[in-house]
Amino acid sequence: MRFTKMEGLGNDYVYLNCLERTPPDLPELARRVSDRHFGVGSDGLICVCPSEQADFRMRMFNADGSEGEMCGNGIRCVGKFVYDKGLTDKTTVSVETKAGVKVLELQLGADGLVSAVTVDMGAPAVEKPRDITVDGRSYTVTPVSMGNPHAVLYLEGIDGLDLPKIGPGFEHHPSFPNRTNTEFVEVTDRTHLRMRVWERGSGETLACGTGACAVLAATASAGRCERSAEVALLGGVLRIRWDEADGHIYMTGPAVTVFEGDYPYGSDQ
Ligand SMILES: N[C@H](CCC[C@H](N)C(=O)O)C(=O)O
């Protein structure tokens, strides 16, 4: 099975062209390819599938095999995948996701291939902050949906956090019936935010596009930053803008192809 390894700010996935056929048992395939010792190594699996209502459909699976509703870094790479492979000649591409149809504006580099993408991520749903207890300690989190669930919290010294220790307590907290992605945020100034993320189903990743959008929405809603800011993640910086007119969030960032390969998996598995 031919695959393409791609990354958006180090949030890396294995990408499959499923326009003609889809391998059986995608959750199991995601678990296998994601393993960084026995598989390809990735934060998960992303399948580019046909769509009735958009140019393409993206299905995203976390490393544990669970299917997410949306993936910001992933959808930027889907835009690069379909354009660079000649599956479209359009630089405005629509992609159906479980969180609705997203519109991508592809930016081309000097080589004529996609170097960066701006995604209309749709409107965030920001809830009121709520206190939750994790491992005996109380935290104030702001739940935000970008189609997938996020819990945003503000702490000083996020670099010193032991996320493998505290992350699962947030991910599996009973307050989040479908689990949650959790973002740990420092507000540098009104146009610069820093964050780390413990992702539902994948653990700490170097970046999370939907998470960065959730962080901007929660922080601007609290009056602590402007509606347009740079969000610094371990893997790099995303530019996030929450448009006043349409209420949508726009995310701009890079998309990179790392390598192509073949993986032994098919209908006889
Ligand atoms: N890395 C992705 C988010 C994956 C979210 C997934 N962990 C979920 O179950 O919602 C991003 O760039 O938005």
For residue 113, how many other CB atoms are within 10 A of its CB? 13
Q: How far is CA 180 from CA 1, 36, 37, in A?
A: 31, 23, 26
Cα torsion at 145, 197, 78, 114 (round to 10°)? 120
CA distance 108 to 117: 9
- Asked if the model's pLDDT at residue 267 lies above 60, the reply is no
Start-to-end C-alpha separation, the chain:
12
**Average pLDDT along the chain:** 97
Residue 208 appears among annotated catalytic residues:
yes
pLDDT value of position 269:
45
Q: Which residues contact 17 (CB under 8 A, 6 or more apart)?
A: 2, 4, 48, 81, 85, 87
Nearest 10 degrees: Cα torsion 16, 18, 23, 29:
30
The yes-or-no answer to whether 2-120+254-262 and 125-247 have a common fold is yes
The counts of H helices and E strands in the chain are 4, 19
Query: 2-120+254-262, which class in CATH?
Result: alpha beta
C-alpha distances in Å from residue 157, one per residue of 166, 186, 194, 196, 269? 14, 8, 10, 11, 46
Q: Per-domain residue ranges for the chain?
A: 2-120+254-262, 125-247
Catalytic residue among 47, 208, 213, 225: 208
225 is catalytic: no
206-237 residue pLDDT tens:
999 999 999 999 999 999 999 999 999 999 99
Give the model confidence (pLDDT) of 46-87 as tens digits.
999 999 999 999 999 999 999 999 999 999 999 999 999 999
Query: Do 130 and 108 touch, CB atoms closer than 8 A?
Result: no
Whether the CB-CB separation of 179 and 214 falls below 8 Å is answered with: no
Q: Which fold has domain 125-247?
A: Diaminopimelate Epimerase; Chain A, domain 1 (3.10.310)
Q: Is the CB of 71 under 6 A from ligand 1?
A: yes
- Confirm if 183 and 153 have CB atoms less than 8 A apart: yes
Pairwise CA distance, residues 152 & 144, whole Å: 7
| Segment holding 221, helix H or strand E | helix 209-221
C-beta 147 within 6 A of ligand 1:
no
| Residue whose token pair is 């599938």 | 49
Give the ligand 1 atom nearest the CA of 199. Answer: 7
Q: Is the CB of 42 under 6 A from ligand 1?
A: no
Q: Is the ipTM of this complex over 0.90?
A: yes
pLDDT band at 265 (very low <50, low <70, confident <90, very high): confident
